[in-house]
Amino acid sequence: MSANFSVKVGRHNDFISPSQACVVSLNSLKKSSPQAFDDDGLVQIQSKKLLNPDFNQASALSKSDPVKVSLHDCLACSGCITSAETVLIEQQSTGEFLSQLDTGKKAVVVSLSPQSRASLAAYYGVTPLQAFKKFTGFMKSIGVRAVFDTSCSRDLSLIESCKEFVTRFRDNKNLPILASACPGWVCYAEKTHGADILPHISAVKSPQQAMGAIVKRYACSSLGLQPEDIYHVTVMPCYDKKLEASREDFVFSGEVNEETDGPQMTEVDCVLTTTEVLDLLATKSADFTALEEAPLDRLLANVDESEQLFGVQGGSGGYAECIFRYAASVLFGKEVTGPLKFKVLRNSDFQETSLEIGGKPVLQFACVYGFRNIQNLVRRIKSGKCEYHYVEIMACPSGCLNGGGQIKPRKGQSAKDLIQLIEVTYANDIEIRDPFSNKITQGLYDQWLGHPGSAKACEIMQTQYHSREKTVGSYISDW
C-alpha cells in the first residue's frame, strides 16, 4: 500500500507527491530571470554545489507574491503527475460548501459515494445503511435539499460501459479498453502517455460525472428546479475527483432563449472527500453516532422499499466483473454465474480472469490497481504485448476503498487492517444486483436517454481525453 500517484494529502507519505514546486508558479521565475533558461526552455543551473531547484524556486517564490494556480492550470499542466493538493483543497472546500448553504441562493444537492459511505461506516462502527441514513440526517439538518447515492449513477455508467465494450470488441478497435472511472489514472495517462494510451480509455463518464449529468440535466425537474439553481456536491474517496469535476469536458450549456446563449454549468460544483466530511461534522459539532437516521431520498439511490441497499460487487465499481458477464452473455452466449474467479498475478493488485471456449481464451479481463502495476500494464500495451480486452485500472493500491481522501487509520490501527475492515464493511448488507435490473436506471432510459447505447445516451454519458503537452517543469535540471 505504499505507492500511488494520486494526489497527496498533508503529511501522509503514501502517495507520490506533486513536483517540488508548481511550474505555473515557476513561470513567474522565468519572467523575472530569463537568463536562468536556455533556448530550449530548459533551466540551466550552473553550480551543483549551491543549488537545487527546490532551493531556487523557494527563494524565487518567497520574493514574489504567492502565485494563484487554478484547477484548470493544473489539468492542462504536466508539471506534477496530477496536481498539488493545496490547489484542490482551496477551490472545492468545506468552506465553499457551507457558504453556498448560507447564501441559500441555490438548492444544495449532495451525492455520496458508496466508498465514502463504507469509510464512514467502518470509522464509526455502524452499517453502511446506518451511515447513509445518519449522513442524510446530518446533511438535511444543515440545509441540504437532497442526498443521493452514486451507486445508482454507477449502474448507468456500467450499462453504458457494457455497450461500449461490445461495440469496440466487435469492431476490434482500441483494445484493451481501459476503465475511465479513476481520474487519478486518467489524469496521469493524459499527462504522461498521450496518444499511445488515450484511445484505449473508455469514453464513458465516471459515476460521479454520470450523477452530475443526471442531477443537472434530468432530475432537477423532479425537484422542481432549474439546473442553474442547483449546487451539486459529491462526497468521494479521493482528491482526484475534485480535479475531475473541474474538467472543461463536464461543462454544458443550459437552455438557450432569445436573450442568452444559455448559462454554462458544471455537472458537479464541489467535491468533498470523506475526511472533509469529518471536518464538517466537527465544524457543526455533530456527533455522527448520535445523529438521527433520516429517511433516504430514493429518487437516485440504490435502496429498495424494504431499505435494502443494493449494487455491484467490487470496491472500485465492479467494472471488469460487470462487463465480463455482459460480454460473455451477449458475445458468446455464456451465462457466467456465481462469483468470478480472478487469478492473482504479481501481487494482489494485479488480477486477471478469462472466458475460455474450446480451450481458447476468448475474453481476457484484468484488474490493475496502483502505480507499480499500471506501469507494467502501460508498458505492455505500448509494446503491443497486452492480451487483455478490458482492464479495470485504479490508481490507488487496493482500489477506491483505499482512496487518499478516505478516513485515516485510528491510532494503533495499521493501514492494512483498516482497508480490510472497509472492504468487509463495504460488502456488508449490500445485495448484489445486476445494473440492468435497476428500476431507477430503467426509468432514466425510458424517460430520458432512450435505450442503453443510444445516441442520446452516448452524447450525455460519454466524454473525451486530451494529451497534455510537456511543460517546462518537467525539464528542470538539477544534480
Partner 1 sequence: MSLRLVQELAGHDDRVWSVAWRPGGGPSVLASCSGDKTVRIWEHSPGASPSSATWVCKAVLDSAHTRTVRQCEWCPAGKLLATASFDSTLGMYEKIGTEISFIASFEGHENEVKSVAWNSSGSLLASCSRDKSVWIWEVLPGHEFECVSVLNGHSQDVKMVTWHPSRDILVSASYDNSIKVWAEDVDGDDWRCVQTLAAPGRGHTSTVWGISFNATGDRMVSCSDDLTLMVWDTSADCVSTSADGVAPWKHLTTISGYHDRTIFSVHWSRVNGLIASGAGDDCIRVFDELRDNVSTLPGEGLSYEMVLKQEKAHSTDVNCVRWHPKEPRLLASAGDDGVVKIWELVGGDLPLLSNESLPYDPRG
Interface residues toward ligand SF4, by CB under 6 A = 6, 18-19, 22-24, 69, 73-74, 77, 79-80, 83-84, 87, 182-184, 237-238, 240, 394-396, 399-400, 403, 473
Considering only residues 32, 59, 70, 477, which one is a binding residue for partner 1 as defined by CB under 8 A? 477
Q: By the 8 A CB rule, do 160 and 461 touch?
A: yes
Considering only residues 7, 9, 19, 233, which one is a binding residue for partner 1 as defined by CB under 8 A? 19
Give the β-pairing of 309-311 and 430-432.
parallel
Q: Which of residues 53-112 bind partner 1 (CB under 8 A)?
A: 53-54, 81
Minimum CB distance to partner 1, residue 194 (Å):
13
Considering the complex, state which of residue 97 and residue 371 has its C-beta at the smaller distance from partner 1: 371
Q: By the 8 A CB rule, do 311 and 157 touch?
A: no
Spatial CA neighbour of 399 closest among 351, 349, 345: 349
Considering the complex, state which of residue 73 and residue 269 has its C-beta at the smaller distance from ligand SF4: 73
Q: By the 8 A CB rule, do 318 and 326 touch?
A: no
What the block records as the C-alpha cell of 402 is: 483505499
CA angle 122, 131, 425 (to 5 degrees): 35
Minimum CB distance to ligand SF4, residue 466 (Å):
14
Spatial CA neighbour of 451 closest among 111, 162, 149: 162
Considering CB under 8 A, how many residues would be counted as binding partner 1? 33
Give the β-pairing of 390-394 and 360-369.
parallel
Give the β-pairing of 146-149 and 390-394.
unpaired
SS3 25: helix
Q: By the 8 A CB rule, do 408 and 13 touch?
A: no
Which of ligand SF4, partner 1, none sits in contact with 376, Cβ below 5 to 8 A by type?
A: partner 1
Q: Which of residues 170-199 bind partner 1 (CB under 8 A)?
A: 192
What the block records as the C-alpha cell of 97 is: 460548501
Rounded CA gap, 333 and 340, in Å?
Answer: 17
Considering only residues 59, 222, 375, 414, which one is a binding residue for partner 1 as defined by CB under 8 A? 375
Only segment of 24-32, 136-144, 242-250, 471-479 that touches partner 1 (CB under 8 A): 471-479
**The CA-based dihedral angle spanning residues 76, 79, 81, 87, taken in that order and rounded to the nearest 10 degrees:** -70
Minimum CB distance to ligand SF4, residue 68 (Å):
10
Which of ligand SF4, partner 1, none sits in contact with 477, Cβ below 5 to 8 A by type?
A: partner 1
| Amino acid at residue number 106 | K
Considering only residues 63, 68, 173, 379, which one is a binding residue for partner 1 as defined by CB under 8 A? 379
Considering the complex, state which of residue 184 and residue 207 has its C-beta at the smaller distance from partner 1: 184
| Amino acid at residue number 308 | Q
| Residue 52 touches partner 1, criterion: CB under 8 A | yes
Q: Which of residues 196-235 bind partner 1 (CB under 8 A)?
A: none
Minimum CB distance to partner 1, residue 54 (Å):
7
Minimum CB distance to ligand SF4, residue 250 (Å):
15
Which of partner 1, ligand SF4, none sits in contact with 372, Cβ below 5 to 8 A by type?
A: partner 1
| Residue 313 touches partner 1, criterion: CB under 8 A | no
What the block records as the C-alpha cell of 193 is: 502517455
Q: Report the largest interatomic distance among the alpha carbons of the chain, rounded to a whole angstrom.
A: 71
Q: Which of residues 423-452 bind partner 1 (CB under 8 A)?
A: none
Minimum CB distance to ligand SF4, residue 108 (Å):
23
Only segment of 10-18, 85-93, 94-102, 178-186 that touches partner 1 (CB under 8 A): 10-18
Q: By the 8 A CB rule, do 180 and 462 touch?
A: no
| Residue 2 touches partner 1, criterion: CB under 8 A | yes
Only segment of 155-163, 164-172, 216-224, 469-477 that touches partner 1 (CB under 8 A): 469-477
| Residue 371 touches partner 1, criterion: CB under 8 A | yes
Spatial CA neighbour of 56 closest among 36, 79, 86, 76: 36
Measured from the Cβ of residue 40, the count of other Cβ atoms closer than 10 Å reads 9
Spatial CA neighbour of 156 closest among 87, 210, 199, 113: 210
Contact positions toward partner 1, by CB under 8 A? 1-3, 13-17, 19-20, 48-49, 52-54, 81, 192, 346-348, 371-373, 375-376, 379, 397, 474-479
